[in-house]
Amino acid sequence: MPLAGMVYSAVLAQKRGHALQKIISEPGGVVELMIGTTNYRKEGLARALDRIGEVRACYSFVPYIAFRCQASDAAGLVSHINGRGRFYRELKAMLSVEASGTFSIPKIEDAFPKPKKKVKAEDVGSSLWNLVATGAYKARQYSCGENTNVAVIDTGANYLHPEIQPCFNGKKGHNFLNNTDFVIDDNGHGTHVSGIIAGRNCGVAPKTKLAALKVLNKDGEGSESAIISALEWCVKNNMDVANLSLGAPVASSAFEEMCSYAASAGLLIVAAAGNDGKRTITYPAGFGEPVIGVAATDRENNHAVFSNISPTNDISAPGVDILSSYLSDYAVLDGTSMSAPHVAGALSLAVSYAKKADLEDVLERTAQDLTPEKDDWDVFGAGLLRADLFMSALARSRRVAKALNERQSLAELVRKVFW
């Protein structure tokens, strides 16, 4: 494992331990845990846990159970796994107990992002600086995101908004807060993110099909268990890309393993680097290889002052003064929340045009270098997203592959004729 990977893995493990100790030391209240087990003993363990508290989710693809109980019972489970408890026999199937965190819209200076200004539909310009800077308009000569499915794991979306309405067909997504299909955005953040990905005026890939997966409430907060369930939904529903403009300083092994599983199943996962404005790690962007972590730049291609500097920053994209759909009108917002969907949109263009294999590698190789020096704690990652260079590189690869296939076909024809 690279040094940077060792650093953030060690930090994550330490924070998991601290979070769990804090939870079990609290005298009262309800807490949420991630219980590790094995797949073949998962259902039996879930039945046993239901006698103590509430099983929130029994995941299909990773051997974990999301569980809610009293803090005193959580302390008992920890004692049990350490060989000191006297709970049900079935609890021997427990292999680990971790705290399950609360995730939220990345904050800027301890405040949730609020619109810098509201914009009416008639005032939306035909050319937006962020789309020009990333080459999105030029990239559309190859694709506009046709036949690509992108999940927006966020506060929902106002799918009736004219900017993004064409992106939603039939089932609009799923609400993991109340297990319904009602995904209307009551915050605005998810609608803004959706517009950057696929808005007809503001979006990178305007013909992408979107699914709104609501995991955050009107205050922009939600549980880790809901986000993991949303990623499972993405795999089961054949999503191509998932955008997570959310984060927390701590995350469980279950979340990390779910990201790894989903990525291995072909899901391209994009996440915001976070808005603490310092050297720190935010998850899920901090998980490394299975997730594309996105930092923010401004109009001059400078590092946005709020954007986190992290060893898992893979690439940068515009995140200052970003215009997009917002509830009933339009708004300008700042944040790495706005940067991530630029990358999700570019990946949608690519998936529509080429095969998924090695897309992240090409994405990073075609980024515009913004700094001559890099270290383990990276400011820009590979550099600024350039959707135009990304797509032209894929076009060249496709032409080369076609030429090779034609040569092979000709060679095979010659062989059949003469041999």
Q: For residues 96 and 92, what is the distance between their CA atoms, to the nearest angstrom? A: 11
Q: What is the dihedral of CA 318, 319, 324, 328, to 10 degrees?
A: 170
How many angstroms separate the Cα of 83 from the Cα of each of 19, 115, 142? 21, 52, 60
**DSSP at 220:** S
In this prediction, residue 315 has a pLDDT band, given cuts at 50, 70 and 90, of very high
The per-residue pLDDT for range 165-220, each reduced to its tens digit, is 999 988 899 999 999 999 999 999 999 999 999 999 999 999 999 999 999 999 99
The per-residue pLDDT for range 56-84, each reduced to its tens digit, is 999 999 999 999 999 888 888 888 877 66
Matching fold, domains 3-100 and 117-397: no
The per-residue pLDDT for range 231-268, each reduced to its tens digit, is 999 999 999 999 999 999 999 999 999 999 999 999 99
- For residues 271-276, give the mean pLDDT: 96
Give the start-to-end residue ranges of the domains of the chain: 3-100, 117-397
Least trusted range by pLDDT, from 55-59, 214-218, 355-359, 405-409: 405-409
Q: Which residues of 309-328 are buried (b: 16+ CB within 10 A; e: fewer)?
A: bbbbbbbbbbbbbbbbbbbe
In this prediction, residue 102 has a pLDDT band, given cuts at 50, 70 and 90, of very high
- For residues 111-136, give the mean pLDDT: 83
Residue 281 has pLDDT above 70, yes or no: yes
The per-residue pLDDT for range 222-232, each reduced to its tens digit, is 999 999 999 99
Residue for token pair 């496709």: 398
Q: List the catalytic residues.
A: 154, 189, 337
What is the pTM for the complete model shown? 0.90
In this prediction, residue 110 has a pLDDT band, given cuts at 50, 70 and 90, of low
- Please give the pLDDT value at position 3: 42
Query: In the CATH scheme, what architecture does the domain 3-100 have?
Result: 2-Layer Sandwich (3.30)
Query: In the CATH scheme, what architecture does the domain 117-397 have?
Result: 3-Layer(aba) Sandwich (3.40)
In this prediction, residue 413 has a pLDDT band, given cuts at 50, 70 and 90, of very low
- Please give the pLDDT value at position 13: 54
Which residues are within 8 A (CB) of 125 and not within 5 positions of it... i.e. 6 or more apart? 323
Q: For residues 380 and 295, what is the distance between their CA atoms, to the nearest angstrom? A: 6
The per-residue pLDDT for range 128-179, each reduced to its tens digit, is 999 999 999 999 999 999 999 999 999 999 999 999 999 998 889 999 999 9
Name the 3-class secondary structure at 65: strand
